[in-house]
A = this chain, B = another copy of it.
């Protein structure tokens, strides 16, 4: 008991050993669950651990063993719904395995800045999960040295990735395909697309799913309108589209863009879904409560985060190895913002 209230140095393995009357060696065996320890000895040690409030130093463990039970998440953003939800999923799964989770934000897509962030993350020890939905993330994923354990959360790859690439993804392409088909099935001649910034490729997975649906239906293809990530970008894109009376259906790269588009249409006096239908992507928490409520495609981001961690965990511990490419299935959620096109009387 620390009656004086003085700040005490935390108990070490040796303190426990002394208290239990064994060597610190044996204490190490006990805390590592090593089988060859006499039950009575084990109990004495356990009692001492309990009494002294011993906690094994993660730092010393990491230095001595080289392992570190930590994951750091590299991401360009922590506040957007998709990113934040992936992070949440990772944290949940990591906590369940008592891994520490660190985060590093890729504030710029500048090569040097990216390299610096990757180094910092590597310094932390443990594994890496890189959210590669944008140029910064994609570059960071590419900049990770080969010897580091890393998992990428990526857009749907254009072709099946190398088995050497531990990636997870939601099926963005399928999701965009579904949403576009939904709008076409309502009778729209075609569907316009307001895009999130592509990760780096000319054509993002979402864009290609949209295009595929148009082609299959023989619908006219327009160029995607560029829209950044937030509602402001959607608003700007929506203003352009609102001017064109031929536009009756708009698919947006995420729900925030859709919100901006909705607002722009409102300001232009075009009713939704009476004159124009709008669909989003992600099913963010507010989308169901908008007026009109937003038709969107739900993606299981927290599940994606959990999968990413599970995959990394498998790489780090070679015990519970996991299916290398868990894919979550998107789900179309039809709400008020989509309907048939106006009658062409």
In the bound complex, residues from chain B placing their C-beta under 8 Å from that of A297 are none
User: Which of B58, B85, B286 is in CB contact (< 8 Å) with A256?
Assistant: B286
Q: Which one of A119-127, A131-139, A314-322 is at the interface?
A: A119-127
Q: Is the CB of B285 within 8 A of A231?
A: yes
Q: Which one of A33-41, A87-95, A166-174, A187-195 is at the interface?
A: A87-95
* A268 proximal to B (CB < 8 A): no
Q: Which one of A206-214, A257-265, A325-333 is at the interface?
A: A257-265
Convert A69-93 into 0s and 1s, putting 1 for each residue whose CB lies closer than 8 angstroms to a CB of B. Answer: 0001000001101001101100110
Min C-beta distance of A5 to chain B, whole Å:
8
* A344 proximal to B (CB < 8 A): no
Q: Which one of A178-186, A245-253, A287-295 is at the interface?
A: A287-295
Q: Is the CB of B105 within 8 A of A95?
A: yes
Task: Name the interface residues of A256-278: CB closer than 8 Å to any CB of B.
Answer: 256, 259-260, 262-263, 266
In the bound complex, residues from chain B placing their C-beta under 8 Å from that of A230 are 285
Min C-beta distance of A241 to chain B, whole Å:
15
Given contacts A78-B88, A84-B84, 10 further A-B contacts (CB under 8 A): A7-B147, A55-B123, A88-B105, A91-B105, A92-B105, A92-B107, A100-B120, A102-B103, A263-B291, A291-B291
